Amino acid sequence: MWAKKTVHTRDLTPYITRDHDQSLSSRLAALYEQQKRSWPQFRRGHEAMKKAQVRTIQLGGCWVRCQYTPHRITSVSARVDPRSIARRSCFLCPENLYPREKGLPYGEDYFILCNVSPIFDFHVVITHQDHVPQQIEGHFDTVLELVRDISPHFVLIYNGPRCGASAPDHLHFQAFPAQNLPLESQAWAVHPHIIETDQILIGAPSGFSRRFLTFESDRSEALSLWFHQSLVALAETEASVREPMINFVMEYQEGRWRMVLFPRRKHRPRCYHRRGDQQMLISPGAIDMAGVFVIPRKKDYERLDAATLHHIYQEVTTPEDRFSRLVEKLREINETGAYR
Ligand SMILES: [Zn+2]
């Protein structure tokens, strides 16, 4: 089934900008251009994205970008409870793709498609070829390879099944050009690390209204190990048997992986569920946590201010005491070498 959805090399070649550049990021960019011309619904999504209004809000020592994007209403307001998910047909399974929707296989298990409602130029979705649930355990090593393969131009994001994934029943990631997320430049400013070894640097920067960890390493095994340790520690503080609520952003630059991990308290803030004028349709995933608020309604876009934004971040980010316990736990593991 996926073979039928694979874009033909002869259709892609005219869009390869640099001579014979067959790198994955070059082919992704070519796919995006090819699909803009041959898949009408995607072209409309792209044109809507291009008309997005944007403004920045200063938030303490950092800033975030608000993006008024009416075409994202379906995604932002998607019902993601198990019952609704079971009743809809999965938009990431090959039999349900648009007729003109084509993509590129990645490895044996993945397939890359354009995002029909892009938030950025060259916004793509990397979907597992099987209808398997969204969860990171067991797939993190593939993510590390994938991020290296789409570097240096693309970053990858992951939304956990309970905090941002619009298809919690079908494993997928998203990728887009690196310079779009404000936090990507803000989070790496000099700050003391909580763990500093010859294998990895882990930071817990403050002053961003939301809490997150930064990881930097040139060793895939080290990053994989510490990511796993963080999930175990988070699961203990969340008292849940399911995957802890997380989003992350990852990139690979100059031989090093860099990841920002957002532990979450909840998916949608209270204002999302309110009625009438009290309601604000804001549904934060990795992109919003990394500093781009995707807002599909004009009235919400216009009235969102720094105080409300700070409040929303505080509501959906992991609570301070839980975050402190996570940091303590990671320090303890580093000191005692008691990895799990
Ligand atoms: Zn599916």
Q: Residue range 298-327: average pLDDT? A: 95
Distance 82 CA to ligand 1 centre (A): 14
Distance 328 CA to ligand 1 centre (A): 39
* CA 131 to chain centroid: 19
Give the integer Cα–Cα distance in Å for 175 and 150: 8
Distance 130 CA to ligand 1 centre (A): 7
Under CATH, domain 3-336 is a member of which superfamily? Answer: ATP adenylyltransferase (3.30.428.70)
Output the 3-class SS for 37-95. HHCHHHHHHHHHHHCCEEEEEEECCEEEEEEECHHHHHHHCCCCCHHHHHHCCCCCCHH
Distance 93 CA to ligand 1 centre (A): 4
Distance 167 CA to ligand 1 centre (A): 8
Looking at residue 159, its pLDDT comes to 97
Distance 27 CA to ligand 1 centre (A): 24
**So where are the chain's domains?**
3-336
Distance 96 CA to ligand 1 centre (A): 8
Q: Which residues contact 320 (CB under 8 A, 6 or more apart)?
A: 211
Best CA proximity match to 101, nearest among 109, 91, 87: 91
Distance 92 CA to ligand 1 centre (A): 5
314: left (phi over 0), alpha (psi -120 to 50) or beta: alpha
* CA 53 to chain centroid: 21
Looking at residue 171, its pLDDT comes to 98
User: What count of other Cβ atoms lies within 10 Å of the Cβ of residue 142?
Assistant: 18
* CA 147 to chain centroid: 12
Place 66 in a pLDDT band, splitting at 50, 70 and 90: very high
Distance 95 CA to ligand 1 centre (A): 9
Distance 111 CA to ligand 1 centre (A): 12
Say what percent of the chain tops pLDDT 90: 79
pLDDT digits (tens, 9 = 90+) for 205-232: 998 999 999 999 999 999 999 999 999 9
Q: Is 190's pLDDT higher than 70?
A: no
Give the integer Cα–Cα distance in Å for 83 and 80: 8
Distance 131 CA to ligand 1 centre (A): 4
Looking at residue 227, its pLDDT comes to 97
Partners of 126 in the beta sheet? 112, 173
Q: Which residues contact 222 (CB under 8 A, 6 or more apart)?
A: 197, 199, 200
pLDDT digits (tens, 9 = 90+) for 67-113: 999 888 877 777 888 888 888 899 999 999 999 999 999 999 999 99
Distance 279 CA to ligand 1 centre (A): 31
Task: Phi first, then psi: give them for residue 244, nearest 5 degrees.
Answer: -55, 155
Distance 117 CA to ligand 1 centre (A): 18
